Amino acid sequence: MSAIQTLERASLSTATRESVNDFSITVATVNGSGSQTSNLTILRALFKMGLPVSGKNIFPSNIQGLPTWYTIRVSKDGFLARREEHEIVVAMNPASYLQDLQEVLPGGVFFYAEDIRLPLDRDDVTAYPMPVRQLVRESDAPSNLKDYIANMVYVGVLAQILGIDLEKIRQALDFHFKGKSRPVEMNYSVVRAAADWAAAHLEKRDPYRVEPMDATRGLIMADGNTAAALGAIYGGVHFVSWYPITPASSLAEALHEYLPKLRKDPQTGKNTFVLVQAEDELAAIGMAIGAGWSGLRAMTSTSGPGLSLMTEYAGLGYYAEVPLVVWDIQRVGPSTGLPTRTAQGDLTFVSFMGHGDTQHVILLPGSIEECFEFGWRAFDLAERLQTPVFVLSDLDLGMNHWMAEPFSYPDVPIDRGKVLWEDDLERLNGKWSRYLDVDGDGIPYRTVPGNRYPNAAYFARGTGHDEHANYSEEPEVWQRVLDRLRKKFETARTLVPSPIIDAQQGAEVGIISFGSTSPAIQEARHQLEAAGLKTDIMRIRALPFSKEVGEFIRSHPRNYVVEMNRDGQLHQLLTIDHPAHALQLRSLAYTDGLPLTARRVRQGILAGEGLDPSREIKETKKSRNDGGEAS
């Protein structure tokens, strides 16, 4: 155990010090037991009490039977990143009981199902038994649902011991079951019975409790995949093709839920969209490219193994210049890897996805709000640039629940890019060339099927072609086309979202990141400042890098590039783009399949600065505007 971890555990182990709205709850259950309903009920109830919260689901890749953990962080100061410390643990699984018991911090709390007949050999934690089987037996739940309803016992006991408002729990159940009174009452009756039992039989002997706050007023809670789906709908998506894969499936499933509600012709009642589950990932992207070529706003969603299969089609989209949006919800690779763990390991692969000289435009959302925004903005960029646009989220951002500001309706008109219609071609006397750079930005003009002008048609070629879409193997023609595509990539630098930069006066150290690492970096930054080290932060939101990225690197003698992969992929790409300043970039890459923690960021930067990573960190506070995210 490191010195800083020892210090942190000691500071949290003082049982006499009351801890209000500042701890983590980890629930250990069995995969497939229905515990997600119970866990989300607690999360939403705390959110409805006005408490900043986040939830992290650590689950196995099998369907049912293996251990799973769900951690809820309550933070009065609004920090939402995962913590490695567990003040409160709920043990419902005999298979992980002993491990779960050891995970509790000294001075912490251990709730356990009393039918688990295993030793309780720690005297530095407060232990509360829960009569799960008894309360389930006494419930009115049907026999086929009793195993699932059992998880509501710990909801009720936690509510009583920690002070969670039971009315907020009822509201959370009502939300989860969409107002259906029968499942709401069945679940709530068990919660109520468990809370009453705890009130009668358990004496509170721990320092942890919650009390209402007003820190979530006006916020919502959502997962990133749902936000992305809604963003795509508001961006005018016409065509979706997909193939199931964890952790991307829920994005297409959200589209399946919301498209019929939001995209029907008000006159005819007919759908104004197409959603197809393809036979595999090759078919999914092939269909989407065909739809994009035909003028539809087309997309697909997948994860790493699916991307590997899509590579040849991605090259076709790049060279034939077909608009397309691909969402990649990253997981741990290579190969099958860890399907239910999070990572940021696809960045370099997607950047150059396809053989030959290929460079792709990539959007990198770092919050739920940006999942929604990039859901619609990706279509504008794909059609403006006439190229596939990839959006890289990850399992943590995509599948877990986060607090967020309400989504903002797109503030700009839909941008279809350089499309020539009949009137345009009439003014040009029919003289146009599909792959000719007329405006000097590398982006040609296109037509779409349905244009009735006689000269509107062209061959969309993945083979060698000249500016007029004629087949060509001439060396100088090939060179011209590739140079124009590179010019288009340079134009993209001026169109993609700029990085988010937050600077402090006098800071010489920069922190560079992307995506879901933002909450951990925000918290680590506060801790570093408390330790006497000021930092500036830059969260990159797109590739190719805009000019602000280079300016930030040049203005800091040392830039730590923080990311969740083994090889420092963002660090590699920054070095390629800014070779003259490579020595100002330092890689702080780490991946273990779990969301990043502030402790790991803080220790890595302190060590890199030659400072003692075990130095004591004073308590810090943050405002809502410091980068939080949320149901």
Angle of CA points 357, 362, 364, to nearest 5°? 150
pLDDT band at 16 (very low <50, low <70, confident <90, very high): low
Q: Is the dihedral of CA 564, 567, 568, 573 positive or negative?
A: negative
Whether 257 and 318 map to the same domain: the answer is yes
Does 386 lie in the same domain as 270? yes
Classify residue 489: in a domain, yes or no: no
Domain termination residue (choose one: 352, 383, 404): 404
CA 15-16-21 angle, 5° bins: 75
Which of 417, 443, 248, 408 lies closest to 326 in space, CA to CA? 248
277 and 308 belong to one structural domain: yes
- Residue 616's pLDDT is 57
375 contacts 325 by C-beta, under 8 angstroms: no
The answer to whether residues 138 and 76 belong to one domain is: yes
> What distance in Å separates the CA atoms of residue 327 and residue 242, rounded to the nearest whole number?
10
Assess contact for 342 and 564: CB atoms under 8 A. yes
Same-domain check for residues 162 and 228: no
Tell me the C-alpha distance between 92 and 78, whole Å. Answer: 29
* pLDDT given for residue 612 in this prediction: 86
CB 112 within 8 A of CB 127: yes
**What is the CB-side half-sphere exposure of residue 462 using CA atoms within 13 A?**
15
> Residue 110's beta-bridge partner residues?
89, 127
Domain extent at residue 616: 500-626
State residue 516's pLDDT score: 98
Read off the pLDDT band of 430 (50, 70, 90): very high
CB contact set of 13 (below 8 Å; sequence gap of 6+): 105, 106, 107, 108, 124
What number of helices (H) and strands (E) belong to the chain? 21, 22
152 and 260 inside one domain: no
Percent of the chain with pLDDT over 90: 91
pLDDT at position 627? 39
| Domain harbouring 577, CATH code | 3.40.50.920
How far apart CA 177 and CA 184 sit, in angstroms, is: 7
pLDDT tens by residue, 480-526: 999 999 999 999 999 999 999 999 999 999 999 999 999 999 999 99
- Whether residue 520 lies inside any domain: the answer is yes
The per-residue DSSP string of 473-491 comes to: --HHHHHHHHHHHHHHHHH
Question: So what's the pLDDT on residue 541?
Answer: 98
On whether both 175 and 316 belong to a single domain, the answer is: no
What beta strand segments (E) does 134-266 contain?
208-209, 220-223, 239-242
Q: What is the pLDDT of residue 630?
A: 32
Total number of domains constituting the chain: 3
Are 201 and 246 in the same domain?
A: no
Is 618's pLDDT higher than 80?
A: no
Q: Do 570 and 602 share a structural domain?
A: yes
In this structure, the answer to whether residues 594 and 516 fall within a common structural domain is: yes
Residue closest to 571 by CA, chosen among 347, 312, 273: 347
CATH classification of the domain holding 239: 3.40.50.970
* Residue 468 belongs to some domain of the structure: no
Residue 449 lies in a domain: no
Check whether 4 has a pLDDT greater than 70: no
Of 209, 236, 271, the one marking the end of a domain is: 209
Of the candidates 28, 157, 24, which has an alpha carbon nearest to the alpha carbon of residue 97? 28
In the three-class reduction of DSSP (H, G, I as helix; E, B as strand; rest coil), residue 96 is classed as helix
Confidence of residue 476 (pLDDT cuts 50, 70, 90): very high
Angle between helices 569-577 and 547-554 (to 10 degrees): 90
pLDDT of residue 32: 86
Give the total residue count for the chain: 631
Residues 122, 257 within the same domain: no
Domain contains 453: no
Strand positions, DSSP E, 405-508: 500-502
User: Is 466 part of a structural domain of the chain?
Assistant: no
Q: Are 285 and 364 contained in the same domain?
A: yes
What pLDDT was estimated at residue 488? 98
- Helices 518-530 and 598-608 cross at an angle (nearest 10°) of 50
- Give a yes or no: residue 445 inside a domain: no
What three-state secondary structure class fits 499? coil
Evaluate whether 366 touches 516 at the Cβ level (below 8 Å): yes
Provide φ and ψ at 212, rounded to 5°: -60, 145
CA distances from 551 to 362, 491, 556 (A): 20, 18, 9
477 found inside a domain: no
Residue-wise pLDDT tens digits, 112-160: 999 999 999 999 999 999 999 999 999 988 988 988 999 999 999 999 9
Cα-based angle 599, 603, 604 (whole degrees, multiple of 5): 115
Over residues 219-260, the pLDDT tens digits come to 999 999 999 999 999 999 999 999 999 999 999 999 999 999
pLDDT in tens, 359-402: 999 999 999 999 999 999 999 999 999 999 999 999 999 999 99
Of the candidates 164, 187, 209, which is a domain's last residue? 209
Q: Which amino acid is at 73?
A: R
The pLDDT of residue 625 is: 40
CATH of the domain at 75: 3.40.920.10
Amino acid (one-letter) located at 317 = G
